[in-house]
Amino acid sequence: MDKISLRALLKERVSLISDKREQSELIAQKVKTLRLPHGSICIYNSLDCEADTVDLINYFIQTREVYLPVVEGEDILLVKVDSDTQYTVGRWGIREPRGERIAPKTIAPQITVTPLLGADKNLNRLGKGKGYYDRYFASLGETYKVGLAFREQIVDRVPADKWDKTLDALITPDEIIERK
């Protein structure tokens, strides 16, 4: 199946999930057990079609420097957040933090929790097709890439292009799959 067809299938699957809150809680519990690299983390503010990251953002704020992405033009910039951060609703209805916008390569987060529409157990990630994270990863260099996925977002095979970066870890409500 090509990426366009797979995106359509996965959007339909995700729209029918009735237990997103429960699955998100299980995913968050598993993330908290991971032995992640030390250092700063970039994590996205989730949309309704994604595993909820609010609890994880608050969790990481207690122990790490936390950055949230904001879209500026065709690129992702990062804003450092803490428990006092104020938010505005940005492009596509995403809650974006207010604050200084910094180029990812300036910060070089050791970990990036990456949004996805789908993934396979070989750690291939299917994004929404806009290329923001492809450009982010290309500008950044090394970062430990973590994907969070509902059960319904796991497929047998995600087609991968040469520029696609595989995940280092994929967390679902049922398992943690890590690159060996």
Residue 180 covered by a domain: no
Tokens of 21: 């809150």
CATH number of domain containing 108: 3.40.50.10420
- Domain count of the fold of the chain: 1
CB atoms within 10 A of CB 132: 16
Q: Average pLDDT, whole number, for the chain?
A: 94
Distance CA 172, CA 176 (A): 6
Residue 78 covered by a domain: yes
Distance CA 55, CA 40 (A): 17
pLDDT recorded at residue 116: 96
Residue 178 covered by a domain: no
What is the DSSP secondary structure assignment for residue 166, as one 8-state letter? P
pLDDT recorded at residue 94: 85
